[in-house]
Chain A
Amino acid sequence: MSERFEKQVAELIVDALNLDVEPEDIRPEEPMFGEGLGLDSIDALELAMAISKKYGFQLRSDDGDNANIFASLRSLSAHIAENAK
């Protein structure tokens, strides 16, 4: 996973969710939901829409997989890199 790609995803997150932080302030391993960035389920849907628009694939969660994809900026970036069209 390139740092550059992670930064691109961080920019997408900040932009899509109207977050009050700079993209470079998001630590790649920091949890995004609950503590950490404090995102919630509205954000997950919002992010899903932004990701499908920009990277051309629709997020889906297998049983229990949801938590893994959204665990951190790093895991989300990896998931996008794997699935992007």
Chain B
Amino acid sequence: MIPLLQSHRQPVAWNRHGPIDGRTFLGDVYHLSERLPTTGNAILNVCEDRYRFLVTLTAGLVCKRPNLLPPSTVPEALKQVVSDRERPVCVTDGVPCPEGVACVEFHEPPGCSAPSERIPAFSGDQIMAEVFTSGSTGRPRSNPKRWGEMVSGATRIGRRLGLDQDERGSLVATVPPQHMFGLETSIMLGLRWGWGFHTGRPFFPRNLAEALSEVPEPRILITTPLHLRACIAEKTALPGLRFILSATAPLSTEMARTAERQFGCPVQEIYGSTETGAMASRRSAEGTGWEPFEGFRIHREGSHWLAEADHLSRPVRLDDRLKENGDGTLELLGRTADLVKIAGKRGSLGDLNHKLHSIDGVEDGTFLVPHASDGDVHRLAAVVVAPTRTKRELLQELGKRIDPVFLPRPLQCVKALPRNASGKLSRERLLKLLSKT
């Protein structure tokens, strides 16, 4: 059995009014677990406030009911996540519940119930959450996560990053706690090491700076290359940082160096996936090699790479092409051909093309990945043959079928695709067609 907290005095979270300690938190957890309908099983957790998210997650642990963590809060995704569950419950602080699902509205501020000093402990084998992978078009897939593996994951990450058992600080995160990276870092790292997190999810650089000023030093900023780029461009002051933790897309060495200079702290990056959790890390300003976490074995088998670890029931096939460096670190070469990742969401070009072809009036067409100028952020493009449809109509039709991050920019309508004699598309000629827009 592993206890939830080390002490009921530990600050679990911070908001602009100050710390929320373990006693307050435990009181809120027990109160919510009593409010949950007693029938049914899984809990769909769509809380946007990080504290309410954790209260809901923990109430699930207390009642032995796993939290379902959706890849996004668009209605279609929520519907799919609960589709084969018996009488699921949705806990929300704003996002509309999917139709036909019992809804528990959770709007109370922290500390509305009697505090408690009773620290629960859970079996390492208990399923804490099912984290769903996005997938551009297919059904979201469940990845069960046990309480024990999440705690040991947070232990590994904290050790690698040099956290100290006796030191306390705080976390601010721009990533949602429903995603694996956000869950492992902003929630689990905080619980395990006693670092309280900021309850909000700041978005614009200015909000980020404000959130940081509301929590005590030292601070860890948990974010993505997109937010870092915006903070660099806006010359945002991010004071009192111990380090910045980035994931979801690789940072260029150059950007990492700029960030380290500008914000005066190391930038650490995590390489991971929903299926495996954090697998490796690097300090991006100092080199491109990823150092696998203790317990992970990442090796090649045939044409693809596998990750193995004690907490994984079987080897996980990775979507990335890797290379072993002589010193035990790994080089990330790129994604396997069919896979694209935009704004942290994974999609398959094959799936996207299939959806494109399913639109009435589309005779031929393909998605492609144009080269990004900075190597970090890019959009997809599409070249389409659909003489009877306008660009606007095509984009609207696509918008109904795929996640907006995958919408092509530009979408170029042409009379015919540049296919060679064997019917294969020439990437160069496709790119030429695009550059004519």
Interface residues of A in 8-49 (CB under 8 A from B): 17-21, 25, 34-35, 38-42, 44-45, 48-49
List the B side residues contacting A68 at CB < 8 Å.
none
Task: Return the chain A residue nearest B49 by Cβ.
Answer: A63
Q: How far is the CA of A18 from the CA of B342 in the complex (A)?
A: 16
Q: How far is the CA of A48 from the CA of B207 in the complex (A)?
A: 12
Interface contact B204-A60, CB-CB below 8 Å: yes
A41 touches B204 (CB 8 A): no
A34 B404 Cβ-Cβ under 8 A: yes
| B187 vs chain A, min Cβ distance (A) | 20
Contact A61-B204, Cβ < 8 Å, known A40-B404, A42-B405: yes
B401 at interface, CB cutoff 8 A = no
B377 near A42 with CB under 8 A, answer yes
- How distant is the Cα of A67 from the Cα of B154 in the complex, in angstroms? 34
Is B205 at the interface (CB under 8 A from chain A)?
A: yes
The 0/1 profile, CB within 8 Å of A marked 1, for residues 130-141 of chain B is 000000000000
CA distance A44 to B391 in the complex (A): 23
Identify which of B204, B207, B230, B391 gathers the most chain A CB atoms within 10 Å of its CB. Answer: B204
Q: What chain A residues lie within 8 Å of B204 (beta carbons)?
A: 44-45, 48, 58-61
Contacts of B91 in A (CB 8 A): none
Residues in A with CB closer than 8 Å to B411 are: 20
B230 touches A49 (CB 8 A): yes
Counting residue pairs across A and B whose Cβ atoms lie within 8 Å, the total is 66
Residue with the highest number of chain A CB atoms closer than 10 Å, among B207, B229, B408: B207
- In whole angstroms, what is the CA distance A20 to B205 when docked? 27
How many residues of chain B get a CB closer than 8 Å to chain A's CBs?
31
- Do B226 and A21 have beta carbons less than 8 Å apart? no
Which residues between 24 and 51 of chain B lie within 8 Å of chain A, taking CB atoms? none
* A20 partner residues in chain B, CB cutoff 8 A: 391, 395, 408-411, 437
Alpha-carbon distance A45/B227, docked complex (angstroms): 7
Given the interface pairs A20-B391, A20-B409, A52-B234, the reply to whether A38 lies near B399 with Cβ below 8 Å is: yes
Per-residue CB proximity of B181-223 to A under 8 Å, as 1/0?
A: 0000000000000000000000111110010000000000000
Measured between beta carbons, the chain B residues less than 8 angstroms from A40 are: 343, 404-405
Q: B407: which A residues are within 8 A, CB to CB?
A: 38
Query: Looking across the interface, which residue of chain A has its beta carbon closest to that of B408?
Result: A20
Q: How far is the CB of A4 from the nearest CB of chain B, in Å? A: 24
Which chain A residues lie closer than 8 Å to B342 at the CB level?
42
In the assembled complex, the Cα of A53 lies from the Cα of B379 at a distance in Å of 22
| Most B CB within 10 A of own CB, among A19, A25, A34, A48 | A48
Q: Mark B231-254, 1 if CB is under 8 A from A, else 0.
A: 001101000000000000000000
* Complex alpha-carbon distance, A41 and B203, angstroms: 9
Contact B207 A60 (CB under 8 A): yes
B392 at the interface (CB under 8 A from A): yes
User: Are A42 and B399 in touch, CB under 8 angstroms?
Assistant: no
Query: Which among B233, B379, B395 is the interface contact of A49 at CB below 8 angstroms?
Result: B233
CB of A59 within 8 A of CB of B206, answer yes
Q: Which residues 50-65 of A have a CB within 8 angstroms of B? A: 52-53, 58-61, 64
Pick from B226, B379, B404: contact of A45, CB under 8 Å: B226
Cβ of A39: which chain B residues have Cβ within 8 Å of it? 404
Inter-chain contacts of B233 with A (CB < 8 A): 49, 52-53
Q: Which residues on the B side are within 8 Å of A34 (C-beta)?
A: 74, 404
CB–CB A35/B377 < 8 A: no
In angstroms, Cα B343 to Cα A49, docked, is 17
Q: Give Cα A18–Cα B404 distance, bound, in whole angstroms.
A: 15
Contacts of B377 in A (CB 8 A): 42
Q: Look across to chain B and name the residue whose beta carbon is closest to the beta carbon of A50.
A: B233
Chain B contacts to A: CB under 8 angstroms: 74, 94, 203-207, 210, 226-227, 229-230, 233-234, 236, 342-343, 377, 379, 391-392, 395, 399, 404-405, 407-411, 437
What are 28 A-B pairs at a CB distance below 8 A?
A18-B379, A18-B410, A19-B409, A20-B408, A20-B409, A34-B404, A40-B404, A40-B405, A42-B343, A44-B203, A45-B203, A45-B227, A45-B229, A45-B230, A48-B204, A48-B205, A48-B230, A48-B234, A52-B233, A53-B233, A59-B204, A60-B206, A60-B207, A60-B210, A61-B203, A61-B204, A61-B207, A64-B94
The 9 closest A-B CB pairs, nearest first, are A60-B206, A20-B410, A58-B206, A45-B230, A40-B404, A49-B233, A38-B404, A59-B204, A42-B343
Q: What 5 new A-B contacts, CB under 8 Å, besides A20-B410, A59-B204? A: A38-B395, A42-B226, A48-B204, A60-B204, A61-B203
